[in-house]
Amino acid sequence: MKLDIEKLPLTSMDIKEEQITKLKQLFPEAFTEGNKIDWDRLKLTLGEDVDAGKERYGMNWPGKSDCFKTIQQPSIATLVPVREESVNFDTTENLFIEGDNLEVLKLLQKSYIGKIKMIYIDPPYNTGNEFIYPDNYSESLDTYLEYTGQIDGEGRKFSTNTDTDGRFHSKWMSMMYPRLFLAKNLLKEDGVIFISIDDNEVQNLRALCNEIFGEQNFIDILKWKRKKQPSFLATHTAKMMEYVLIFSKDKLSLEKLSIDGTSDSTKKVINVSNKECKRIFKEGVRVKLNGSGVIPKGRYKIRTMEVEYLSDVNFKNGKTINNVEVVSKFSVSQQSIDEYIKNDLLFITSQKGLRRDVSIEEIGKRKSITDLLLSEWGDNQESENELIQIFNTSEYFEYNKPLKLLKNLIKCNFSDEQIVLDFFAGSCSTAQAVIEQNKDDGGSRNFICVQLPETLGKGSLAEKSGYKTIADIGKERIRRVIKKLNEEESQNAESRQNTPRLFETSESKISNSQDLGFKVFKLQKSNFNIWNANIEKTQDAIREQLALHLEHISPEAEQESILYELLLKSGFSLTAKIEKFQIEDYQVFSILDGALLICLEKKLTHELIKAIAERKPVRVICLDEGFQNDDQLKANAVLIMKSNEVLKFQTV
């Protein structure tokens, strides 16, 4: 009996196969022998007459067919961790990914499919002089590697899309279509995408989204006033507005609207301008840490910036079990406090002190978003001032969006414990908005920002200041925002040096749980020499591919880079919990508390394999090289894994 070990696929998810699988689950009768689709039978199943005519309503442009080749072409790249450019790499769940967003979106499919609550993007508006991403499906990883100088090539192929080009709109749509298609896969069922755009492509963008997301999932087009005053240089009409298109993944399946009012989901019960007064909190007040979980049971003395004094608090299972006396500047009466506790609305947090949930009745009265976004949504002048506050200049980056706009979109989307994705990240306004909104409302959102390392203009102020690419500016912005918040916290702690910290005991201190960090990853070619099926079918090209496969693993590959590539291509997130442990002199990585064990040793032994299997993981991955061509050891490894109920054993 031959015992083969399953090979781990080193490409991104096969989009074509995934779509066919979904279709077969719904309409098995429309498939013929060989897993082929009988299109006429599918039409009959859907109750349509089979019509041989070609005329139909739809959107088409030169190059559209290549978009589907782009989507179906798997990526053979990887994302390499860069610790030195990150902040709190080992603990953060925020991500900044430097690379071509098309390749990155493909690589994220396995790990993040159906996990993103909100996407916000601010893509190129196609005004005729901006950078545009490549639209040719053959310009993928190699083009990017040439562009970033990682391999030799004839030069940079990415360029601007000028309005003198005969395919001006077509090139833009060919760039957007596959990216939106892949982005849709990543959204949760109640997920929403927001897309900023202006007059140049708003009609084409809506038509693209109608086709990709479905016209029934269109929510609205918001009109955002981007300027305080019109330009005196305007011709015909002075343009003041831009647009934000909103589409849902599946609007009809939502239990509640994806988009609601922007008012807070919780409210303060303290008003610092009021006089001090005493309130008694009867037992039953919830005690929460940043809204993301209940702090451990025990006896604590709680103080905040807003509350002068809370007597000792005993609590169990997340609720106080004794009456608590509070002296502070309350904005509500004792009667209201009693009512909040009775309805389980009141809670104590580490950041905001005393707050209450918004009641069901109040939610019904929340102010809805109008489709006209005015001063409370910020403008371009505010976004310039925000850059000045961070970099002391606004000249590093043009046309970034104001934080008010982004924070309001985040708030209205019920995303307080979700992932927010921006794959045209630019200067990373979205990352700053997520961090600051978490600070404002105690949320625990995380961001994923993706940005191409687009080179800065020669002689520009940003280049003179030491930045090489837009991605460099984005990463530095996030670092400075985090540094500023940490400094503010240190100053607050210093001013309270004679006051106990929040939720403090003599045995332990619980610090602010807000995620003030981010992991940096960069798009690179795989650490493994993967056979490229798209090479030219010439003797020289095939000979070169064969030469690469003499060594399966790239000599430059570092162990941590290999580890993250295996995680990504096994469907685990880039922020999955990783622990290391030793079995004798060998190192093994444990993912998500032992759900997956990865061993990257280049010489495996029977004892090592047995020790790994006895830990009862769900999956195990080893290097094929580790078996040293010992077929007997491979066969024994398969049997050992099966006997220990390991569901999946793979090599690479």
Matching residue, tokens 């343009």? 239
Q: How far is CA 315 from CA 320, 464, 505, in A?
A: 4, 57, 13
Q: Judge if 111 and 241 occupy the same domain.
A: yes
Q: Judge if 140 and 192 occupy the same domain.
A: yes
Q: Among residues of the chain, what percentage have pLDDT more than 70?
A: 77
Q: Judge if 256 and 270 occupy the same domain.
A: no
pLDDT of residue 511: 39
pLDDT of residue 448: 98
Q: Judge if 95 and 243 occupy the same domain.
A: yes
Q: Judge if 637 and 606 occupy the same domain.
A: yes
Q: How far is CA 61 from CA 171, 174, 496, 572, 578, in A?
A: 9, 9, 64, 37, 46
Matching residue, tokens 């493909």? 106
pLDDT of 182 over the 90 cut: yes
Residue 523 domain-assigned (yes or no): no
At residue 91 the predicted structure's pLDDT band, cuts being 50, 70 and 90, is very high
pLDDT of residue 51: 61
**Domain end among 442, 475, 495:** 495
pLDDT of residue 560: 94
79-93, 260-274, 531-545 — which one is most confidently predicted on average? 79-93
Residues 581 and 612: their CA atoms lie apart, in Å, by 11
- Among 68-77, 220-229, 277-286, the least confident range: 277-286
CB count within 10 Å of CB 313 equals 20
Residue 446 domain-assigned (yes or no): yes
Q: Judge if 319 and 394 occupy the same domain.
A: no
Residue 72 domain-assigned (yes or no): no
Count how many Cα atoms sit within 13 Å of the Cα of residue 518 in the half-sphere of its side chain.
29
Tell me how long the chain is.
652
Residue 518 domain-assigned (yes or no): no
- What is the tens place of the pLDDT at every residue in 220-233? 999 999 988 777 67
pLDDT of residue 72: 87
Task: Name the residue with higher pLDDT: 518 or 291.
Answer: 518
pLDDT of residue 69: 86
pLDDT of 348 over the 90 cut: no
**Domain end among 472, 495, 518:** 495
In this structure, what CATH number is given to the domain that contains residue 141?
A: 3.40.50.150
pLDDT of residue 41: 74
Residue 520 domain-assigned (yes or no): no
pLDDT of 514 over the 50 cut: yes
Q: Judge if 167 and 307 occupy the same domain.
A: no
pLDDT of residue 131: 61
pLDDT of residue 398: 82
At residue 261 the predicted structure's pLDDT band, cuts being 50, 70 and 90, is low
Residue 25 domain-assigned (yes or no): no
What would the DSSP string read from start to end of 391-454? HS-STT-SSPPPHHHHHHHHHTTT-TTSEEEESS-TTTHHHHHHHHHHHHH----EEEEEE--P
Question: Which of 476, 521, 397, 445 has its CA nearest to residue 96?
Answer: 521
**Domain end among 335, 364, 393:** 364
pLDDT of 2 over the 80 cut: no
Task: Name the residue with higher pLDDT: 547 or 245.
Answer: 245
Residues 130 and 172: their CA atoms lie apart, in Å, by 11
- Residue range 461-483: mean pLDDT, rounded: 95
Q: Judge if 238 and 343 occupy the same domain.
A: no
- What is the tens place of the pLDDT at every residue in 102-153? 999 999 999 999 999 999 999 999 887 666 665 555 556 777 877 777 776 5
Q: Judge if 157 and 254 occupy the same domain.
A: yes
- Residue range 559-578: mean pLDDT, rounded: 94
Residues 212 and 414: their CA atoms lie apart, in Å, by 23
Q: Judge if 471 and 322 occupy the same domain.
A: no
pLDDT of 33 over the 80 cut: no
- What is the tens place of the pLDDT at every residue in 447-466? 999 999 988 888 889 999 99
Domains held by the chain: number: 3
At residue 291 the predicted structure's pLDDT band, cuts being 50, 70 and 90, is very low
Mean pLDDT for the chain overall:
82
Residue 307 domain-assigned (yes or no): yes
For residue 310, the one-letter residue type is L
Q: Judge if 308 and 289 occupy the same domain.
A: yes
pLDDT of 536 over the 80 cut: no
- Residue range 32-54: mean pLDDT, rounded: 71
80-94, 114-128, 210-224, 297-311 — which one is most confidently predicted on average? 80-94
pLDDT of residue 311: 62
Residue 627 domain-assigned (yes or no): yes
DSSP assigned state of 358: P
- Residue range 339-363: mean pLDDT, rounded: 73
Question: Which of 428, 437, 481 has its CA nearest to residue 98?
Answer: 428
Q: Among residues of the chain, what percentage have pLDDT more than 90?
A: 43
Q: Judge if 332 and 387 occupy the same domain.
A: no
pLDDT of residue 55: 63
Determine the 3-state secondary structure of 522 from DSSP: strand
pLDDT of residue 501: 43
- Among 163-172, 208-217, 540-549, the least confident range: 540-549
Cα three-residue angle 255-259-262, rounded to 5 degrees: 125
pLDDT of residue 296: 44
Range(s) of the domain holding residue 588? 534-651
Cα three-residue angle 451-562-142, rounded to 5 degrees: 50
- What is the tens place of the pLDDT at every residue in 573-604? 999 999 999 998 899 999 999 999 999 999 99
Determine the 3-state secondary structure of 650 from DSSP: strand
Question: Which of 462, 298, 326 has its CA nearest to residue 391?
Answer: 462
158-172, 355-369, 393-407 — which one is most confidently predicted on average? 393-407
